[in-house]
Amino acid sequence: MENQSQDNKSSFAEDTAIQTMNLTREFGQQTAVDRININVRQGQIFGLLGPNGAGKSTTIKMLTTLLDPTSGTAIVAGFDIVDEPAQVRRRIGYVPQMLSADGALTGRENLMLSAKLYRMPGSERAARIDEALKFMGLENSAKKLVKTYSGGMIRRLELAQAMLHHPVVLFLDEPTIGLDPVARRIVWDRLLDLRRDYNMTVLITTHDMEEADQLCDELAILHEGRVATIGKPAELKAAIGPTATLDDVFAQCCGVMITEGGNYRDVRQTRSTVSRLG
Ligand SMILES: Nc1ncnc2c1ncn2[C@@H]1O[C@H](COP(=O)(O)OP(=O)(O)O)[C@@H](O)[C@H]1O
Ligand SMILES: [Mg+2]
């Protein structure tokens, strides 16, 4: 086990964007993330699913170098998050779970702050900001204060901030929570466009089964800090039964199902498919 991370590093495939190696984070007595091993190829949209407290945000914080693992590590965009965090940071974009845009500034001002944060040369800033505003359909709102934006516009502005420096990997923690179906669809489309136009790899966390099913090429369901299952949405469903939904997969992994709004209901008795098969 001790040598596994060395072996993994030497066998690191060219097109791997994220590879975790027994990635672990403890908080005191609690193991929030417990030896997870996931592999994400470049250009994939990968979903991390799981109930509240499963360890999704802690995983993202480690992969974005904001939090040190207590053991294990990961390679992100070709660099080790523990040994080479500055190299990793240069190649990633991150949209946190909590809103991160400043409401008292305009959209353009928020983007200018990000450009400075990423140490983008002064001569490139205006062009990159225009590109990101256009990409996210915010050209006409650039001069308005962000506090006047809708939830969907704020999320798109945060995506614009995170893509400004053309990262190799984009990390999004619950990017569509609280958005109406139309705004959510627009965010999905922009993420698909980022993949198409920039070959960006996207790792998202979500509660939303429809999002996981329709947007993600591959999923890992986390439960109590561990990977309960991993695979393509269609494969995960097929493994349970011909008519299974992703809710059934989730219920079987976690013993709970998600009700609308992201709450969980115990389903050990209520989900007939799962109780029959599981
Ligand atoms: N900074 C922290 N200090 C102590 N415990 C934490 C901290 N951050 C997260 N945790 C705990 O780790 C577990 C996983 O949390 P988190 O990664 O936020 O889960 P998720 O994003 O899947 O809802 C939870 O039990 C949470 O209470
Ligand atoms: Mg979270």
Q: For ligand 1, is residue 229 a contact (CB within 6 Å)? A: no
Q: For ligand 1, is residue 55 a contact (CB within 6 Å)? A: yes
Contacts (Cβ under 8 Å, ≥6 apart) of 8 = 19, 21, 75
Q: 53 C-alpha vs ligand 2 centroid, how far in Å?
A: 7
- Tens of pLDDT, residue by residue over 214-263, are 999 999 999 999 999 999 999 999 999 999 999 999 988 887 666 555 56
Cβ proximity of 70 and 56 under 8 Å: no
Q: How far apart are CA 239 and CA 274, in angstroms?
A: 12
* pLDDT on residue 100: 86
Q: What is the mean pLDDT of the chain?
A: 88
Terminal CA-to-CA distance of the chain, rounded, Å? 32
* pLDDT on residue 273: 39
Task: Write the residue with the smallest CA distance to atom 8 of ligand 1.
Answer: 58
* pLDDT on residue 99: 82
Between helix 122-135 and helix 181-198 the angle, nearest 10°, is: 130
* pTM exceeding 0.85: yes
Q: How far apart are CA 173 and CA 131, in angstroms?
A: 23
For ion ligand 2, residues whose CB falls within 5 Å: 56-57
Cβ-in-10-Å burial (0-12, 13-18, 19+) of 11 comes to exposed
Q: For ligand 1, is residue 58 a contact (CB within 6 Å)? A: yes
* pLDDT on residue 11: 54
Read off the pLDDT of each residue in 10-26 and give the average, rounded to a whole number.
87
Contacts (Cβ under 8 Å, ≥6 apart) of 166 = 198, 200
- Tens of pLDDT, residue by residue over 86-131, are 999 999 999 998 888 999 999 999 999 999 988 899 999 999 999 9
Place of tokens 């493994």: 239
Q: 213 C-alpha vs ligand 1 centroid, how far in Å?
A: 25
Q: For ligand 1, is residue 32 a contact (CB within 6 Å)? A: yes
Q: How far apart are CA 179 and CA 181, in angstroms?
A: 6
At 207, list the tokens. Answer: 């509660």
Ligand 1, pocket-test mutation among 29, 31, 58, most atoms within 8 A of CB: 58
Q: How far apart are CA 56 and CA 78, in angstroms?
A: 22
Beta strand ranges found along 207-277 (DSSP E): 218-223, 226-231, 256-259, 263-266
Task: Write the residue with the smallest CA distance to atom 24 of ligand 1.
Answer: 53
Q: 126 C-alpha vs ligand 2 centroid, how far in Å?
A: 33
Q: 27 C-alpha vs ligand 1 centroid, how far in Å?
A: 8
Ligand 1, pocket-test mutation among 23, 27, 70, 177, most atoms within 8 A of CB: 27
Own/partner long-range contacts of 181-190 (Cβ < 8 Å, ≥24 apart) = 182/152, 183/150, 183/151, 183/152, 183/155, 184/152, 184/208, 184/211, 186/137, 186/152, 186/156, 187/152, 187/155, 187/156, 187/159, 188/214, 188/215, 190/135, 190/136, 190/156, 190/159
Q: Which domains, and CATH codes, for the chain? A: 15-91+167-229 (3.40.50.300), 102-165 (no CATH)
* String of DSSP letters for 102-135: -TTSBHHHHHHHHHHHTT--HHHHHHHHHHHHHH
